[in-house]
Amino acid sequence: MLQSIRAVIGRDLRLAMRRQADIVAAMFFFIIVVSLFPLGVGPEAEQLRRLAPGVLWVAALLATMLSLPRLFADDHRDGTLEQLALAPQPLALIVLGKVVAHWLVAGLPLVLLAPLLGIQFDLAGDALAVLTLSLLIGTPALSGIGAIGAALTLGVRGGGVLLSLLVLPLYIPVLIFGAGAVDATLSGLGPQAHLSLLGALALGGVFFAPWPTAAALRVALE
């Protein structure tokens, strides 16, 4: 099972390296959206610190969504998805591998960029550390939850808009606890409770979401 998951991750990463423009576009989108807010709201440091958690988390959420429509679409288009569904390994394990690969391509770069962008908002070192940790824990949940929406809208005309409508409400708890962890740090409270709940959402998104995703993919293939 682990070998099949590693094989799917390796395959998707190699395919992603052939489409590096998609990765760069998501990163630039994240950078531009975050950088526009200090220019728009002014240089007041206290106001920027209050806005920072929500701005960075919303920007990361939207940047992650950019690549969701292609999570299964390319494999569905060339018939690879049908072959994967016929493989002896459970389809949910294959979906798990694709979710992990999506996070490595779409989520991890945002985590690495977040501390640099947080400096624009005059965040202290402890707040930057909590921000990075919250994104590291929470972005896998975005990939897992997004995979469900990508599977449900697979092959549907106008699926990108429908995907956004399905996924965005499910992202709200991740957004609340992710931004709340940084807010708690800025307020002098501990972020442990928010990070614990965020970790629970991440575990659910990564390890439980592949099963309904696999069921939705089988419906789409019929």
Per-residue confidence at 29, pLDDT binned at 50, 70, 90? very high
CA distance 56 to 186: 15
Per-residue confidence at 57, pLDDT binned at 50, 70, 90? very high
65, 167 contact by CB (below 8 A)? yes
Which pair of structure tokens corresponds to residue 71?
């999570």
CA 186 to chain centre: 24
- 77 closest CA partner among 166, 159, 164: 159
CA distance 108 to 113: 9
36, 109 contact by CB (below 8 A)? no
Residue 30 has pLDDT above 90, yes or no: yes
Which pLDDT tens digit goes with each residue over 126-141?
999 999 999 999 999 9
pLDDT at residue 132, rounded to an integer: 94
Mean pLDDT to the nearest integer, 116-131:
89
Which pLDDT tens digit goes with each residue over 201-213?
999 888 888 999 9
Per-residue confidence at 194, pLDDT binned at 50, 70, 90? very high
Q: What percent of the chain has pLDDT over 70?
A: 99
- Model pTM score: 0.90
2, 88 contact by CB (below 8 A)? no
How far, CA to CA in Å, does 126 sit from each of 107, 183, 189, 191?
21, 11, 12, 11
